[in-house]
Amino acid sequence: MKLDKSLVVMLGLLVAIFAASPWIPQWILFIITLAGANGLVVLGLMLFMRLGLVSFGQALFFCAGAYTTGMLSLLLKVSDIILLMVASGIIAGLLAYLLGFLLAKYRAIFFGLLSLAFSMILYGVLVKSETLGSTDGFTVSGLTILGLVPDPTQMKIVLFGITIIVVMASLLFVNMVLKSPRGLLLTAIRDNEIRAEYMGASAKSTIHLIYVIAGVLSGFGGAIAAMVSGHIDPNMTFWTTSGEFVFIAILGGIGSVSAPFIGALIFGVIQTIAYGYSPNTWQMTIGICLIAVILVLPDGLWSLMAKMRKNSRV
């Protein structure tokens, strides 16, 4: 399996950060871990964008993953983070499988809006549920790994490590999917669905498959976010959360599998700067950044790297 040069660089970078983790300040580790979680969700979004679809309700699976982690931890007292993460991915994937039957029939903006509707319905259900704490949500604590119980600081580093591993695995997996015959179909379906079907491909089943993959990735992302921030609440499925994911997708661009993670990291940085520098007008700061990126770099930040590489390779 041939790997892009950029992918190799990205993997190398991740390993380097992993190795350096004991020396990185805690607050930066936290931001990177969250960026990893968000990046996983956006990776799924990127697959959709290659298909020409935008999912405005991807936060549904993110939240489903987070709540699975929370409920397993709270009700069944499961505390092993690997177990929790795998379970979250499976449940989110299952949910995606079921919803996919319906959603795979929709195209263009209706796909996005129907997925938005479902995410808001989940929001309503969660807010209604007083046992799950309604809008207050609940906390996740007492996490262990493979039987060991590290103290909170060490646990953050362990979570960071697990996130890096999951991110690397996802990068390789999605890269494999994109290079496979199914993956090449994505762009074909986006360009002209009818012609793709004439060739014998099934748009519906491809979309369904991508929906499940994106669902599983989002489930992992939700689990990581829940475990690292320690708190789960219905806001994770609100439309503004989905909006953030789409924002990151545009910020990063769809040029490569690494783009979502770069976008997520930069978004995390922009958010923190906006809060810190302009506590009274942080929304405006984020809005201006978004417009700037769209106007100046319509293919996302990744296109910047692609252009620099092209220019250097004369």
Residue 143 vs 174, nearer CB to other proteins: 143
Contact set for other proteins, span 259-278 (CB under 8 A) = 266, 268-273, 275-277
* Of positions 2, 23, 130, 181, contacts other proteins by CB under 8 A: 130
- C-beta of 239: minimal distance to other proteins in Å? 6
CA distance 46 to 177: 13
Q: Can you tell me which residue has the tokens 């007292």?
A: 77
C-beta closer to other proteins: residue 175 or 244: 244
6 vs 271 by CB, closer to other proteins: 271
Which of 2, 27, 146, 312 touches other proteins (CB under 8 A)? Answer: 27
Shortest distance in whole angstroms from residue 159 CB to other proteins = 13
Q: Could you tell me the smallest distance in angstroms from the CB atom of residue 59 to other proteins?
A: 10
Q: Which stretch binds other proteins (CB under 8 A): 4-12, 166-174, 202-210, 298-306?
A: 298-306
Show contacts with other proteins in window 34-53 (CB under 8 A). 34
Partners of 80 in beta bridges: 144
Interaction residues for other proteins, span 69-88 (CB under 8 A): none
To the nearest whole angstrom, how small is the minimum distance from the Cβ of residue 241 to other proteins?
A: 7
Positions in 85-124 near other proteins (CB under 8 A): 102, 105-106, 108-110, 112-114, 116-118, 120-121, 123-124
138-139 vs 231-232, strand pairing mode: antiparallel
Shorter beta-carbon distance to other proteins: residue 178 or 273? 273
**Amino acid at the residue 272:** T
Question: Which residue in 304, 288, 208 sits closest to 247, CA to CA?
Answer: 288
- Among positions 147, 280, 312, 314, the unique one binding other proteins when judged by CB under 8 A: 280
The nearer residue to other proteins, 63 or 257, going by C-beta atoms, is: 63
Site size toward other proteins (CB under 8 A) is 86
Q: Which of 124, 120, 106 is nearest to 60 (CA)?
A: 120
Least Cβ distance, residue 151 to other proteins (angstroms): 9
Q: Which 148-207 positions form the footprint of other proteins (CB under 8 A)?
A: 152-153, 192, 194-195
13: contact with other proteins by CB under 8 A: no
Among 296, 312, 313, 314, interactor with other proteins by CB under 8 A: 296
Q: Within positions 234 to 263, which residues make up the interface with other proteins, using CB under 8 A?
A: 235-236, 238-241, 243, 246-247, 250
| Position among 73, 231, 252, 302 found at the interface with other proteins (CB under 8 A) | 231
Mapped to the 3 state alphabet, what secondary structure does the chain carry? Answer: CCCCHHHHHHHHHHHHHHHHHHHCCHHHHHHHHHHHHHHHHHHHHHHHHHCCCCCCCCHHHHHHHHHHHHHHHHHCCCCEHHHHHHHHHHHHHHHHHHHHHHHCCCCHHHHHHHHHHHHHHHHHHHHHCCCCCHHHCEECCCCEECCECCCHHHHHHHHHHHHHHHHHHHHHHHHHHHHCHHHHHHHHHHHCHHHHHHCCCCHHHHHHHHHHHHHHHHHHHHHHHHHHHCEECHHHHCHHHHHHHHHHHHHHCCCCCCHHHHHHHHHHHHHHHHHHHCCCCHHHHHHHHHHHHHHHCCCCHHHHHHHHHHHHCC
- Token digits for 71? 């409920």
Shortest Å distance, C-beta 109 to other proteins = 6
